[in-house]
Amino acid sequence: MSGLKIVFMGTPEFAVSSLEKLIHSPHTVMGIVTQPDKPRGRGKRLAPSPVKSFAESNQIPAILQPLSLRDPAFLKDLQSLHADIFVVVAFRILPEAVFSMPPLGTINVHPSLLPKYRGAAPINWTIINGETETGVTIMQISKGIDAGGILLQQRIAIYPDETAGSLHDRLAAIGSDMLLETLQKFQDHHIKPTVQDDSLATPAPKITKEDCHISFNQPADQVKNWIHGLSPFPTGFALLRGERINFYKALQVSVLESGQPPGTIVKVSSDGLFVACCPGILNILEMQRQGKKRLQAAEFLRGFPIKSQERFS
């Protein structure tokens, strides 16, 4: 049986795993839709999205980068690709004129157990909130953010030391396999969506800069969850001597009150930077000064000596 004709919509690295699986499958990727090139780096040169870079290196015939998804010229170009189905992985909210266009509709690979964590940053919020399990949901796109019928879902456990980065990579690989399974069900006519229970929905909004400013005025395990949930991107931080210090990995070492104000550095050693929380003590294991390399604590402290009783704000 020949495969389906697909238009793929996505932008970040998370989407590349699914696109790669598609181009090595019986299905045909007729084209991709991705964000316009954006200025990046110190020189602010225009750079393509990860999905566009992958599409160009794999000779995908059509690359569409509309400023507006309602642009009549874009809609005409999209229609001309004659896709059977659209596949969306980490893209923008689609207008009905787009998601209703192909005969088989539009499906989305979403890295959470919907209806939990609807929104732009499900992986981050899953770690921040201390969840012990998550997964991937393949769903139909309809009106409403991440509210369409569920076509396939898979659960996985979250590791105790998991970061958003490591969970991102695991879910991207799982989602790409689930995508192929879902497309096969479409071909076999064995697909039946399950309606989501909206009463169980929880939000996963875009992470703000304010979210990234780590507060030590909370229990040590919660501070660790914030650091890991923002690692490696968009990155949690606090200020020391007026300078931004980024955090990437941490370990709760005590649940007891330290007797020190939250954010106070209670111990400095080759094992890490021990910081008072409320309650508990957290060992910061990986850090970074702005514009410098990400380093293990011992190496960081050699280049940036810190004394006990200094305090993060």
Neighbours of 176 (CB within 10 A): 22
Judged on CB neighbours under 10 Å (0-12, 13-18, 19+), 124 is buried
Q: Please give the pLDDT value at position 1.
A: 53
- Stretches in the chain below the pLDDT threshold 70: 1
| Own/partner pairs, 194-197, CB within 8 angstroms, 24+ separation | 194/149, 194/150, 194/151, 195/149, 195/150, 196/114, 196/115, 196/139, 196/147, 196/148, 196/149, 196/150, 197/115
Q: Which two structure tokens, joined as six digits, stand for 53?
A: 């870079």
DSSP H helices in 203-258: 209-212, 220-229
> What is the distance between the alpha carbons of residues 150 and 147, in angstroms, rounded to a whole number?
9
Strand partners, 139: 108, 150
SS3 290: coil
SS3 278: coil
Domain boundaries, the chain: 5-200, 209-303
Q: pLDDT (tens digit, 9 = 90+) per residue, 135-158?
A: 999 999 999 999 999 999 999 999
> What is the distance between the alpha carbons of residues 64 and 48, in angstroms, rounded to a whole number?
12
Q: Please give the pLDDT value at position 41.
A: 77
CA-to-CA separations, 161 to 32, 39, 127, 250, in angstroms, rounded: 35, 34, 10, 9
pTM of the model: 0.95
SS3 91: coil
What phi-psi label fits residue 189: left (phi over 0), alpha (psi between -120 and 50 degrees) or beta?
left
CA-to-CA separations, 118 to 115, 121, 125, 211, in angstroms, rounded: 6, 8, 10, 18
Judged on CB neighbours under 10 Å (0-12, 13-18, 19+), 223 is buried
SS3 15: helix
> What is the distance between the alpha carbons of residues 284 and 252, in angstroms, rounded to a whole number?
9
> What is the distance between the alpha carbons of residues 51 and 104, in angstroms, rounded to a whole number?
23
The answer for residues whose C-beta is within 8 angstroms of residue 100's C-beta and 6 or more apart is 106
Q: Which CATH code of 3.40.50.170, 3.90.740.10, 3.40.720.10, 2.60.40.10 fits the domain covering 5-200?
A: 3.40.50.170
Please give the CATH architecture assigned to the domain spanning 209-303. Answer: Roll (3.10)
Q: Please give the pLDDT value at position 97.
A: 97
192 contacts 97 by C-beta, under 8 angstroms: no
Judged on CB neighbours under 10 Å (0-12, 13-18, 19+), 248 is buried
